[in-house]
Amino acid sequence: MAEQTPMMRQYLEIKSGYPDAILFFRMGDFYEMFLDDALIAARILDITLTSRNKGSGDEIPFCGVPYHSVTPYIAKLIETGHKVAICEQVEDPKQTKGIVRREVVRVITPGLLIEAESLAPDENNYLLALCQGEGDQWGIAWLDLSTGEFRVTELNGGPAAAAEAVCVHPREILLGEGVELETLPADLRDFVTDKIVSRAPAWVYERDYTRSLVCDQFGAASPESLGLEQMPWGLIAAGAALHYLRENRKSAIPHIREIKVYQRSEHLALDPATRRNLEITATMSEGKKNGSLLGCLDRTSTSMGARRLKQWLSYPLVGLEPIRQRLYAVEELLEQAGVREELVAQLKGIADLERLNGRIGMASAGGRDLRAMHDSLQRIPALVDLLAPLQSDLLRSLCTAIDPLDELRNLIERGIVESPPFSLREGGIIATGYNEELDELRAISREGKGFIARLEAQERARTGISSLKIRYNKVFGYSIEITKSNLANVPEDYIRRQTLANAERYITQELKNYEEKILGAEDRICELEFTLFQEIREQVAAQSGRIARTADGLASLDVLVSLALVADERGYTKPQVDESDSIEITDGRHPVIESMKLGERFVPNDTRLDGAENQILMITGPNMAGKSTYMRQVALITLMAQAGSFVPAAAARIGIADRIFTRVGAGDNLARGQSTFMLEMMEAAGILRNATPRSLIVMDEIGRGTSTFDGVSIAWAVAEFIHDTPTCRSRTLFATHYHELAELATTRERIKNYTVAVREWNDQVIFLRTIVPGSASHSYGIQVARLAGMPRDVIERAKEILHNLERGEYEEGAPRLAKSRKTKSTEASPQFTLFESNEDLLRQRLKKLNLSVTTPLEALNLLDELKKMI
Ligand SMILES: Nc1ncnc2c1ncn2[C@@H]1O[C@H](COP(=O)(O)OP(=O)(O)OP(=O)(O)O)[C@@H](O)[C@H]1O
């Protein structure tokens, strides 16, 4: 770098402190970027790249954006994963000799965005800090700077930590300097790999330092008083997040006032695969809200409500009482249709108070933000009146939490004009009557303007020049403009100020005097208005705790109203939630498929699951019959009930589940070097390890990713394990194309067979979509292939092959199934035992019998068993 002008030296010095950010270097009305930053920014922002010292061999590439329209440029850089450091001039250039002092006042990172334009209204924007503790303990802290939400927890093991991180869905992840991604547990590494990872210095992850940061931020004497005594790693993660925040934000964050400490066991556990498979908040194929459960249930009126609904569906409850409270509230809002409608009308007029509160707290809110706060608060008294007569505990407590904040509303009403300008520096924000001095200055300015008009008329009369005009211009101030043709009539006391192509501009002493008075007053007005505005904003910020509580109450209210609305429109019913082990659903429907109205009427189905007789429902049935839909519908109804929603069924009793597991379909994870089948087995293994008798498992075609014999053996053994293992014994929906598995119901008392009814007609299959007891005899795969438009020749040939296979015959060049396999494998491997005839099994059973030690009762039982086998 040859050019070392003082300015460039200053730039390089500042830039060296922010190597991983694009430095926006303020120069007058522009932010300039230099060198590599300029190359990156010019490409992403599509702006012109130029260079200093052109042609000298020491060219310095640079580009710039105007300061007043910087937000979209920053947003674009952030969107593409960059950080932006804003470097301002921190002294008045007019008062400075030499180079003006500059400082970075803020670093904007993806996880620390607060600008409304850069944030999706119905999505939180989280920064997640991870800290690995001893014994594979993980501290996780996550915060949304835009709303002030801050949560912390601790988890045992990489998979659990990864599952939580997936659920939080952060925009940015914070790790300690030196923590190599390769050393993270596989699940976490996978999660972190394609995310934006930022680093905090390693020394930050130190107990005393983080402890003091956390206590300081939340005004606590000790971590104990915050409920963090049992979470040493959570505390460090929280402290690291606060450190990062302070380093980058460089200003107070008063709206982050509460730290919510939670345990994973407080919520229905859903592993990442299950969240994906059940399409709870996003569709599997496109990752979109539309088409997911959230999309189907979201009728909220505010962004706060939309975000809260997402949280409720992401974190369903397991506590009976809180679930019931939500359900009672929805029930009351469902019954009170009139109140509900009026609540919706009020809620629709309420802005995003959480984010407004954040911007006000961080002193980045403008006049329009304050006014939006005012207009929202104005709706609260009516809303509270509507809520006051309602009876349910939850609605009553929301009614108390929602605070009309009258004095704040009055303050803004008195202080801020109805439609304030965007800029804070150019006046026009503060209402008349709010401040005496301001009113006086405005009178002077107004008077001055009247004077100008009078002077213009007076000078026209004096000179006889009817085209004479008094003009104002930012550089030259006021002047009298005379066109060239009238110059002969210019009086002697006019002093020339500026020459234009067709005119001359003059000043008079009188005009100069007034100019000073008016412009002086206008400068003072802008200054005073800005000060007054800041004072008002600070007074509002001082109440950020009350605003946060109100916003929180409104968000929950909005969700409850939305749930009631959907329940009403779609005929959902209130589930009876209890601590039994039953799931009993009458006429259940799949909420999303039903709402899509695809042309086919949705056929409702019943479900009965329990720990005594109906633990595992073994569902066989043709392709395309509706097995997956049915199983997902049961899982979704359970999840909805535990989130506090009514459910798509005529009646439902839900014994609370601690976890829902799904093993559905198969997706490759080539990045991790695992095959489809490997992944399927890993997921299944995870389920068998973690499921409890309170869990709900959905197993859809387990084992189909390998050969038939291997697959059926695995499926069989998995079903047996779930049935026989006391610590697992979960309520299970098990769909399979291996019709052999239906045999399990004869030997396992809690396995029941179901199938999806179809009608055969003219070699075609008609799906009736009804789940009935019994098992299917074949899959109708070929008929489905025909429906899918497979060439007729292929269909005919497939039928021929199937026919031969079913008769145990095979022809040269055609597939050989059981026979070929059996001949290859001479020894009876365990999987073949499944297909041995009942006679073989009978023989084996009798062979093992030792009559000398068998009691008469045992003999009788055995006889009974053998009889059942045939
Ligand atoms: N109860 C129902 N009422 C109406 N339509 C249904 C119902 N259940 C499923 N369907 C429709 O049938 C289609 C196939 O359902 P699904 O995928 O559940 O079948 P499947 O038995 O799991 O098939 P496969 O075994 O081939 O995976 C779905 O796309 C859905 O639109």
| pLDDT attached to residue 823 | 34
Q: What is the DSSP string of 309-365?
A: HHHHHHS-B--HHHHHHHHHHHHHHHH-HHHHHHHHHHHHT---HHHHHHHHHTT--
Tokens 């994963």, located at residue: 81
Regarding the beta carbon of 179 and ligand 1, being less than 6 Å apart is answered: no
Name the residue at shortest CA distance from atom 24 of ligand 1: 623
Q: Whose CA is nearest to atom 10 of ligand 1?
A: 626
Higher-pLDDT residue of 738, 559: 559
Of 627, 629, 634, 769, best ligand 1 pocket probe by most atoms within 8 Å of the beta carbon: 629
User: What is the b/e burial string over 514-546, where b = at least 16 CB atoms within 10 angstroms of the residue's CB?
Assistant: bbeebeebbebbbebbbebbeebbeebbebbee
pLDDT at 829: 35
Cβ(853) to ligand 1 under 6 A?
no
pLDDT of residue 484: 92
788 Cβ below 6 A of ligand 1: no
Q: How far apart are the CA of 591 and the centre of ligand 1, in A? A: 13
Position 813 scores a pLDDT of 56
Q: Above 60 in pLDDT, residue 821?
A: no
For residue 805 the two structure tokens come to: 């296979």
Q: How confident is the model at residue 838 (pLDDT cuts 50, 70, 90)?
A: low
Q: What is the number of the ligand 1 atom nearest to the C-alpha of 604? A: 1
Q: What is the average pLDDT across 507-525?
A: 85
Residue 791 has what pLDDT?
A: 79
Average pLDDT over residues 811-824: 46
Q: Whole-number mean pLDDT of the chain?
A: 87
Mean pLDDT confidence for 570-575 = 97
Average pLDDT over residues 395-421: 95
CA dihedral 737, 741, 745, 748 (to 10 degrees): -140
Structure tokens at 562: 């939305």
Residues in the chain: 870
Element (H, E) at 783: helix 781-787
pLDDT tier, 673 (very low <50, low <70, confident <90, very high otherwise): low
The ligand 1 atom at the shortest distance from the C-alpha of residue 779 is: 25
CA of 756 to the centre of ligand 1 (A): 10
- If you measure from the C-alpha of residue 694 to the centroid of ligand 1, how many angstroms do you get, rounded to a whole number? 27
d(CA 870, CA 851) in angstroms, rounded, equals 22
Residues that constitute the known binding site for ATP: 621-628
Q: Is 779 in the pocket of ligand 1 (CB under 6 A)?
A: no
- Protein residue closest via CA to atom 28 of ligand 1: 626
Contact 261, 230 (CB under 8 A): no
Give the chain's domains with CATH numbers: 6-108 (3.40.1170.10), 120-266 (3.30.420.110), 298-405+544-570 (1.10.1420.10), 436-537 (1.10.1420.10), 576-777 (3.40.50.300), 838-869 (no CATH)
Asked if pLDDT for residue 860 goes beyond 70, the answer is yes
Atom 15 of ligand 1, nearest CA residue = 626
Section 777-803 average pLDDT: 75
Predicted ipTM?
Answer: 0.98
Average pLDDT of span 281-296? 92
Q: Using the predicted structure, report yes or no on whether residue 824 has a pLDDT greater than 70.
A: no
- C-beta 408 within 6 A of ligand 1: no
**Rounded mean pLDDT of 721-740?**
90
Per-residue pLDDT of 302-345, as tens digits, reads 999 999 999 999 999 999 999 999 999 999 999 999 999 999 99
Binding residues: 621-628
Q: Is the C-beta atom of 597 inside 6 A of ligand 1?
A: no
629 lines ligand 1 (CB under 6 A): yes
148-172 per-position pLDDT tens digit: 999 999 999 988 999 999 999 999 9
Q: Which of 261, 310, 241, 74 is nearest to 154 (CA)?
A: 261
Residue 626 CA to ligand 1 center (angstroms) comes to: 3
Q: Which of 182-186, 455-459, 823-827 has the lowest mean pLDDT?
A: 823-827
pLDDT for the residue 816: 53
| Average of per-residue pLDDT across 242-249 | 93
Structure confidence at residue 426 as a pLDDT band (50, 70, 90)? confident
Centre of ligand 1 to C-alpha 767, Å, is: 9
* pLDDT tens-digit map of 745-782: 888 999 999 998 877 777 677 778 888 898 876 666 77
Residue 175 pLDDT > 70: yes
Residue closest via CA to ligand 1's atom 8 equals 626
CB of 623 within 6 A of ligand 1: the answer is yes
The alpha carbon of 623 and the centre of ligand 1 are apart by a number of angstroms equal to 8
Residues β-bridged to residue 175:
199
The residue-averaged pLDDT of 447-476 equals 87
| H or E stretch covering 454 | helix 436-463
Q: Is any ligand 1 atom within 6 A of the Cβ of residue 783?
A: no
Q: Is 598 in the pocket of ligand 1 (CB under 6 A)?
A: yes
Residue nearest to atom 5 of ligand 1 (CA): 602
Q: For residue 82, report the distance from its CA to the centre of ligand 1, in Å.
A: 44
pLDDT-derived band at 827 (thresholds 50, 70, 90) equals very low
